[in-house]
Structure 1
Amino acid sequence: MEQTALNVIAISIFIMTLSALLGPLFHISPFIPAVATLSVLGLTTLDGLAFNSRGITVLLDLLSGEQHRQRIIHHEAGHFLVAYLLGIPVTGYTLSAWEAVQQKQSGLGGVIFDSTALTEKTLTPTEMPLMIERFCTVWMAGIAAETLIYGESQGGEEDRFQVRSALKLAGLPQFNYEQKERWALLQAKNLLEKHQSSYEALVKAMEQRVSVEECYQILGTNS
């Protein structure tokens, strides 16, 4: 079950326990919090089993504040710009859980890349590591963007998973993963700082949900 769903269940149990303890003080029938909690647990379980917890993710995303939404936009703009600079095609993007559901993607949002280059059989043993390094830099660019704008990153677990999966595909030993992540993060930061005006223009464009083609035109103008 998704971590979000588990968190909701834990909170529901806590609230039910607290209500049972405090209910007599406020003359609240224990039946009310019990029914409410059991309803939440039932819906959460159904959502987890039938929809992979997407319903909860969409609901929590809708209830999140503007700062949270801005973080997502800045995070994804980092991915988009670095992919553009490194020649990795972007085929789409989403900036909310609901948009992700509509495009049959997971999570709160994301930039969708054409990753077929990683599986190209025509790549030589020399070209494959270079290609993986480029993708790792793109995957770490969201974390880099959040760090540059907000001083720290709150997201990026899925990005780190992608990096480690790629390094595993390349046959690198696990003890090198953290070093490679740091290297990719540094490369992404350098690219974002070097192209700051393009990044800011892209953030504004993505806020307006312009198409990928229009984003490319904007980046071409600001290069």
Structure 2
Amino acid sequence: MNGGLLLSTFNTTAPEWSLKWRLWGTTTSISRQRYNHNVKSLSSSSEAGVNGELRRALLEQVDKELNKGDDRAALSLVKDSQSKPGGLRCFGAAQQVPQRLYSLNELKLNGIETSALLSPKDNTLGTIERNLQIAALLGFISAWNLFDLGPEELLYFSLGIFFLWTLDSVGFAGGFSSLVLDTIGHNISQKYHNRVIHHEAGHFLIAYLLGILPKGYTLSSLEAFQREGSLNVQAGTVFVDFEFTEEISAGRVSAKMLNRFSCIALAGVATEYLLYGYAEGGLSDVNTLDKLLNSLGFTQKKADSQVRWAVLNTILILRRHERARTHLANAMSAGKSVGSCIDVIEKNIDEIDLMIS
């Protein structure tokens, strides 16, 4: 919060009555200033209310276009609104650090340990999986002893388990086991549940602030399965990315688009790092970015430079807009629409924290 301090200087050699008059005059002046300020505040509040209503009406239309699958119309609405009352002032307006080669020491000076961020390992689901395997083994041994199963029954049971495991691995690419693990994780581990929500809120916020419009999100494998009907879809955020795919198809990706993609890809692990000091989810995000840089012919040195800049840029944006990310995570947890989530971002970011164009 910014405030101003008004200092008044008085001549200590002036007559007492003069000092009293000045004090009285100053008080009167301050009273008038307060009155004028209150009038302006009411006017500003009224204007903010009107702009808020206009913004919400705009975002309802954006939601409609996204639900119809008309990504171009939705993006056009967002971009066209930026110069109008009630427009989306935060879209693509994030302050960013200059792009250059940053050393690991420079990242450490900014409180960033890349080893805890770029090598995520999901210990929570790993522990759940091991416990399930142990429980299944103990259950099998107990059933064997209880029902006095013979070698033939043991063989049939083993073949049945092997068949189901093979079917899931080959037919569904491990989707069913991932669905089960993720569902259990959300139900028995509040930390895992919160981590996934904040991870996706990080993707959503960074994309929006860098000028990529989110168009949907899911927070669990079960939710993704219910919406998409596929076992291979996990929690994630999807974006209006036709501009990016058009550049990919043309075989030439602009530096601006690559920078956006790099930061969005790392936003989830960056958010986890800021919250917990390390990242567990997001290994596929990191691998996707690595594959893109390799496909573009980046040398290892150039790829490292791109990743370090993206890490620093993303971390600093997330730190600057922590309040917006927290409120966004709450909105996403409540299942709010994309438009409602964008409204939350717009309401929780101050002008001073945006890029001055």
Task: Output one character per residue of 1:121-176: Cα deviation in whole Å (capped at 9) or x when no partner.
Answer: 59x99970121011100110000000011110001111112212332343312443
2: CA distance, partners of 1:56 / 1:166? 28
Structure 2 match to 1:109: 235
Asked if the contact 1:91–1:112 (Cα under 8 Å) also holds between the matched residues in 2, the reply is yes
User: Which amino acid is the alignment partner of residue 141 of structure 1?
Assistant: A
Residue 30 to residue 133, structure 1, CA distance change in 2 (3 Å): farther
User: Which amino acid is the alignment partner of residue 169 of structure 2?
Assistant: G
TM-score (norm 1): 0.80
Q: 1:201 aligns with which of 317, 327, 335?
A: 327
Moved more, 174-183 or 66-75: 174-183
Q: Does 1:47 align with 2:168?
A: yes
State the shift of 1:50 in Å.
2.4
Task: Output one character per residue of 1:4-36: Cα deviation in whole Å (capped at 9) or x when no partner.
Answer: 9xxx79x869x769x77x999x78846577655
Residue 171 to residue 37, structure 1, CA distance change in 2 (3 Å): same
Residue 39 to residue 193, structure 1, CA distance change in 2 (3 Å): same
State the shift of 1:83 in Å.
0.4
Structure 1 match to 2:292: 166
Residue 214 to residue 33, structure 1, CA distance change in 2 (3 Å): farther
Structure 2 match to 1:213: 339
Structure 2 match to 1:71: 195
Q: CA RMSD in A?
A: 3.6
Higher Cα Rg, which structure: 2
Structure 2 match to 1:62: 183
Structure 1 match to 2:34: none
Structure 2 match to 1:91: 215
User: Which amino acid is the alignment partner of residue 325 of structure 2?
Assistant: Y
Moved more, 161-170 or 197-206: 161-170
1: CA distance, partners of 2:285 / 2:219? 15
State the shift of 1:208 in Å.
0.6
How do 1:8-157 residues align onto structure 2 when only pairs under 5 Å count?
A: 29=148, 31=150, 36-64=157-185, 65-104=189-228, 106-121=232-247, 128-157=254-283
Unmatched segments (≥5 aa) in structure 2: 1-124, 350-357
Secondary structure (helix, strand or coil) at the match of 2:254 reads helix
Asked if the contact 1:57–1:107 (Cα under 8 Å) also holds between the matched residues in 2, the reply is no
Aligned residues: 215
2: CA distance, partners of 1:62 / 1:133? 34
Task: Output one character per residue of 1:161-218: Cα deviation in whole Å (capped at 9) or x when no partner.
Answer: 2212332343312443333223212211111100011001001001111111110111
2: CA distance, partners of 1:12 / 1:34? 19
Asked if the contact 2:247–2:253 (Cα under 8 Å) also holds between the matched residues in 1, the reply is no
Secondary structure (helix, strand or coil) at the match of 1:83 reads helix
Asked if the contact 1:136–1:166 (Cα under 8 Å) also holds between the matched residues in 2, the reply is no
Structure 2 match to 1:185: 311
Asked if the contact 2:244–2:253 (Cα under 8 Å) also holds between the matched residues in 1, the reply is no
Asked if the contact 1:100–1:108 (Cα under 8 Å) also holds between the matched residues in 2, the reply is yes
Residue 133 to residue 62, structure 1, CA distance change in 2 (3 Å): same
2: CA distance, partners of 1:135 / 1:108? 20
The structure that is helix-richer by fraction is 1
Unmatched segments (≥5 aa) in structure 1: none
Moved more, 153-162 or 75-84: 153-162
